[in-house]
Amino acid sequence: MLRFVNQPSTTQTGEPIRDSHGSTGAPIKVEIYDPETNEIVDTNAAVTLTLGPNSRRGTLIGGTADAVGGVATFPGLSIDTPGPHRLEASSTVTSHTPISDQFIVADTVGTCDDADCSFTVVDGQRTYTTTPVQGSAGAEWAASLNPPGVRISCQFPPFDYPDERQPNAVWYSYDDGETQSPKTVTIVIDEEIVEKTPNNDASDYRVCYSSPMPFRDRNGERAQPDPWDDGPSAYFGTTWFTGLLPDCDPNDPVAPCVLSWIDDGGNRVGTFLAPPGDPSFR
């Protein structure tokens, strides 16, 4: 039989997949073992890794290796497309095909250095910045803009906020373990894009928010399960909830909520508050 010696972790798109955040740690290894004795079989049989269930598009590179003493090592493993992925192992010496834990491939990956850390990802004329209210050294961050195969949209009743008003989709993760810091997220939309959009006063903008954690939407109702066949629920393989965020109470803001939308020299700058621990995958 086969088993993963270690599990893949968050990595940047196209970079080597390792067992720690951001291509650090050890290469992924798979053992060939005897289930009756639980001991590794001394063989040089080839082991193949492929994209497993719920993996979202992309090409896996470096997924074949010959075992050495029953252990296959994959130092050149990478995936060329962001998204949630799993790996499936196989070999001609066994019909057993174990599947790895889910992990994230992201276009931008970072690690928090101290309590003042902040992370930014840029896509042409749009910028997104995530700032933990209380950063934690070693906390892990990852983000992708407009990831292929996912639709984050609020064009459904009671909002019907048209897709053309959605200037970009961004998902991010910020994992700070037990610290569980809330976060402020700032969105900057360039003036050139603003001018191409009707009803473009700063007060006309909204934040369409999707999360695996239930929340209250702009109407004070529970946000509904993601309604799209190609939305984040399908993308991540679990139920997500989607809706327009309410404005924050200036005296007692409760995340998730929108702190402000302003006009900054023709750009539109939106800031919203994300709750502690929300979520491990965004």
> Could you state, in order of their start, the residue ranges of all structural domains in the chain?
2-105, 107-274
Cβ contact 142:228 at 8 Å? no
Of residues 140, 170, 165, the one with CA closest to residue 154: 165
**174 φψ region: left (φ > 0), alpha (ψ -120 to 50), beta (else):** beta
Q: From residue 114, give the alpha-carbon distance in Å to each of 3, 104, 136, 142.
A: 37, 23, 6, 17
For residue 130, what are the β-bridge partners?
119, 185
Two tokens at 162?
A: 């048209």
The pLDDT of residue 248: 97
Q: Which residues of the chain have pLDDT under 70?
A: 56, 167-168, 279-282
Two tokens at 160?
A: 């019907």
Q: What angle do CA 141, 144, 148 make, to 5 degrees?
A: 150
Strands (E), 176-253: 183-189, 208-211, 224-225, 241-244
Cβ contact 80:65 at 8 Å? no
pLDDT 10s digits, 103-125? 999 999 999 999 899 999 988 77
Cβ contact 172:130 at 8 Å? yes
**What is the rounded CA–CA span in Å between residue 120 and residue 109?**
10
Of residues 116, 120, 217, 79, the one with CA closest to residue 161: 217
Cis peptide before 275, with omega less than 30 degrees from 0? no
For residue 121, what are the β-bridge partners?
128
Q: What angle do CA 170, 175, 181 make, to 5 degrees?
A: 95
**What is the rounded CA–CA span in Å between residue 218 and residue 148?**
27
The pLDDT of residue 163: 77
Provide CATH code, domain 2-105: 2.60.40.10
pTM of the model: 0.86
